[in-house]
Chains A and B, each alone.
Chain A
Amino acid sequence: EVHLVESGGGLVQPGGSLRLSCAASGFTFGTFWMSWVRQAPGMGLEWVASIKPDGGEKLYVDAVKGRLTISRDNARNSLYLQMNSLRADDTAVYYCARLLCSASTCSTIYAYWGQGTLVTVSS
């Protein structure tokens, strides 16, 4: 059974940093694109970043480019999101998500989600 468990959220001051982690199990982690998707309180879903299985390609929404960095450690079955220069509008629940399938032709369909970790940016 696929499990994704996020951790690392918390309260941080504007301009601060935080590192989120996602521990994956129940599948061959190193063969799947992985993503972070966030949801501000009471708001909709926003795709944040995605990373190729080998870590060689990373994609970001414009709002986080240069501040948030996605990475992975396939040996540890873990996904990360390094968050720097945090702003109030980064406040959200951050979800780790896995695609439906691992083939190179697989579309960005999120079939598995973690429970989310809350990041609050406030002074």
Chain B
Amino acid sequence: DIQLTQSPSFLSASVGDRVTITCRASQGVRSYLVWYQQKPGKAPNLLMYSASTLQNGVPSRFSGSGSGTEFTLTISSLQPEDFATYYCQQAKSYPITFGQGTRLEIK
């Protein structure tokens, strides 16, 4: 199984900050890497797929990069609605696996 490790697990930041979340895969997943945002009590929301393709409707302050085993999700200027938990997911092979999550909180 492909293990995904996100860092950090917890991040405290302020509105307007630039933040980066990293996702590392235990083996190469090429560009089959997906990012989701989840707010408390809600289902996950697709942000990005194929490592760097923004889902329709997602603000351009979100960007993604990477391939192989190391990936990043960057938010260029945090907005109040961005405080949430973020998950990466590999789409290369079954079993589908997710990272443990990065909780982004307001400083």
Contact = CB atoms under 8 A, between A and B. Distances in A.
Chain A bound to chain B: yes
Interface stretch (A20-28, A72-80, A102-110): A102-110
A61 B1 CA distance: 10
Contact of B98 (A47, A59, A95): A47
B91 A108 contact: yes
A109 B34 contact: yes
Interface in B17-53: 32, 34, 36, 38, 42-46, 49-50
Contact of A111 (B42, B55, B87, B99): B55
A107 B43 contact: no
| Secondary structure dominating the interface of B | loop
Interface residues of A, number: 20
A21 to B, nearest CB: 17
A100 B87 contact: no
A45 B96 CA distance: 10
Interface of A: 35, 44-47, 50, 59, 61-62, 95, 100, 107-111, 113-116
A59 B95 CA distance: 8
A114 B38 CA distance: 13
Nearest to B1: A62
B43 A116 contact: yes
B32 A107 contact: yes
Contact of B49 (A59, A62, A107): A107
B43 A115 contact: yes
B89 A45 contact: yes
Nearest to B46: A111
24 contacts: A35-B96, A44-B87, A44-B98, A44-B100, A45-B36, A45-B44, A45-B98, A47-B95, A47-B96, A47-B97, A95-B43, A95-B44, A100-B49, A107-B49, A107-B50, A107-B91, A109-B46, A109-B91, A110-B36, A110-B44, A111-B46, A111-B55, A113-B45, A115-B43
